[in-house]
Structure 1
């Protein structure tokens, strides 16, 4: 399947937020007459019957229409009907992963950036490609599945939403490569996503249901291939991990959504075993009921913003190294602290540009040039700097004029008696911490 990017007119769409609360059924009824009809029936019986597949499907379709302008899904009775909130939270998190690890260092959505992603196990709904492509006009998504029945419905849903030029679907097999770059007709991908079956067997699935204090709030219509696979979600993601060790930088972000915190803990442990330190984790909870977790890892050296790398309610054991530090400068003005930062950076053999009007600067270093030995070398004429000046765009963001080795890049922002240091690029967290220590000493030293 040839899947080379095509151009499309960029749109300045507003960024949609995460679902953080339970769905407000009354508010949705005001916006959608089909859901209002469900609520009217519920008032007579005094409850919404989520054991009725038609009610579950209507909730999904009403949310898709009202929040994303996506046409109603066409689904068979024997395949999963996807709840929207957690699915959208997963897509939104991937958007933020890409937005905060671009070579522009902008930390925000670029409506002109093209991206190509792969959804492994697209399902009958094609929910992830629909959400991703409908909210990012320059994104193109490939979707694979081992089930032809699901793919037939997925194509209908893609066609019904006018996205067939940007969403391509293909049948695969359980023993084929999970990330088939050659079959997709591409050399690299911006991201891979998957929501694999959570359970290892029918017995495992029944045991999981039996261990819950309360029965599931909504009926599950998933088929065995949607709910069960060898090794469950951990086994499936470990297969992706093994392939990623071969593909490495050909995919910027490998990601997966997991059903249990214990699954996330196992995957993070495996990443650490392979010395993969650039990873991100998320709790995708929407409201008070369903919790899902996500993990992403990269062999590139661009570091996600800290609230993206450590998103949501998480336990300490799964957290990656923090990508930000704050240095307090009490009783000091922004102007004073900014001058101190600028002066400290100008003493170093680094790329540096400071924008005083916004009190933001970016520094790139090819090595540790702030150690005592490096400073001594520079002082006595040993400076052989070839670092070029960083250029800052009209919006106050930075970009490198030439491509050359960067061991560390950070953004420094001064405001409200504090200096925030954001780790943008690099593989060595010790180097980042060392830089922060140097900057703190420069800011707190007496003149």
Structure 2
């Protein structure tokens, strides 16, 4: 994990359970260590609550049934690496407190990236999503915790990314996105089965029925449920990840004067080659691929800018000093 990731060591379940007593029933001993069953959706949600309550001083956080429950340590790594990108752009200096404005595209119902970025680095955030339920839940989290530096914006057109979200003359220092990486429901189901196998769980019909009942999620008919949940727009789109990110890159051209760095997570290494070709065709000035490791899992994101090094320095002087 990133050197600044507070979760690079084992979870302190005693402290976390004290912050959120609802976590305690899910804590068990395995191989002489305290842990939880990470295939249990309820356990994962209570663990997230505990981390947000204990480490980020939140008082209220909840999810609608069946919505994506993100693993916080991995999400935090993305934030830290984006911070490094801004440090480097700013001549290896940390931008002054409150100077960075970030845009989270498709923030989901959890608001996790804006919470982490705001609490770790005092970034201001715009949280956008096309799903009104997600926006409503994010606003409830903002209101319940008085997160004054985070605002929500509803995207009304599924074909748009930055259009209708970034306002005229508004400047954004960094954008981020965790895109839907499956191309269809069937593809998502295959990914779910692999996830269950990695968690040493058998994908039985009885397990599926139990999870479906627990989440009350009648929109999904997959053979197995993800322990982290997820609605259709969160998990898949026509054409999959490559098509989704290609459209984002092409639309970013029209906002190159208003945005310093664009970025997006990429789930599969083999998707980097076609996306790098799209970046080249779009005329970006600089692109980067950043690899992140969490245990046995490797993830990555791409970042791109249309600004020359000199333009980046000028931006930094005006925005971060």
1:124 & 1:135 partners in 2: Cα distance?
20
Q: Which residue of 2 aligns with 1:158?
A: 142
Residues 360-405 of structure 1: per-residue CA shift (max 9 Å, x gap): xxxx9xxxxxxxxxxxxxxxxxxxxxxxxxxxxxxxxxx99xxxxx
2:292 & 2:64 partners in 1: Cα distance?
27
1:92 & 1:125 partners in 2: Cα distance?
19
Cα displacement (A) at 1:199:
0.6
Instruction: Give yes or no for the alignment of 1:238 onto 2:225.
Output: no
1:261 & 1:39 partners in 2: Cα distance?
38
Is the Cα contact below 8 Å between 2:38 and 2:199 reproduced in 1?
no
Q: Secondary structure at the match of 2:298?
A: coil
Instruction: Give yes or no for the alignment of 1:258 onto 2:266.
Output: yes
1:242 & 1:188 partners in 2: Cα distance?
19
Instruction: Give yes or no for the alignment of 1:24 onto 2:7.
Output: no
Instruction: Give yes or no for the alignment of 1:121 onto 2:112.
Output: no
2:85 & 2:116 partners in 1: Cα distance?
16
- Write the mapping of 1:11-160 to structure 2, written as runs, cut at 5 A: 17-18=4-5, 21=8, 24-25=10-11, 27-30=12-15, 32-33=17-18, 38=23, 42-43=27-28, 48-102=36-90, 105=91, 107-112=92-97, 114-137=99-122, 139-160=123-144
1:149 & 1:256 partners in 2: Cα distance?
23
- Write the mapping of 1:155-304 to structure 2, written as runs, cut at 5 A: 155-163=139-147, 165-175=148-158, 177-180=160-163, 184=167, 186-210=169-193, 214-216=197-199, 219-288=227-296, 290-302=297-309
Task: Answer with 1 or 2: which has the greater Rg.
Answer: 1
- Over 3 Å counting, the alpha-carbon distance change for 1:193 and 1:20 in structure 2 is same
Identify the structure with the greater helix proportion. Answer: 2
TM-score, normalised to structure 2's length? 0.77
Q: Secondary structure at the match of 2:261?
A: strand
Structure 2's unaligned 5+ residue stretches are: 201-225
Is the Cα contact below 8 Å between 1:271 and 1:277 reproduced in 2?
no
Q: Secondary structure at the match of 2:288?
A: strand
- Superposition RMSD in Å: 3.1
Is the Cα contact below 8 Å between 2:183 and 2:237 reproduced in 1?
yes
1:20 & 1:282 partners in 2: Cα distance?
19
Structure 1's unaligned 5+ residue stretches are: 1-14, 304-363, 365-398, 401-447
Higher relative contact order (CA 8 A, sep 6+): 2
1:213 & 1:57 partners in 2: Cα distance?
17
The number of residue pairs the alignment matches comes to 284
Cα displacement (A) at 1:198:
1.0
Is the Cα contact below 8 Å between 1:189 and 1:250 reproduced in 2?
yes
1:34 & 1:160 partners in 2: Cα distance?
17
- Write the mapping of 1:389-404 to structure 2, written as runs, cut at 5 A: none
Q: Secondary structure at the match of 1:284?
A: strand
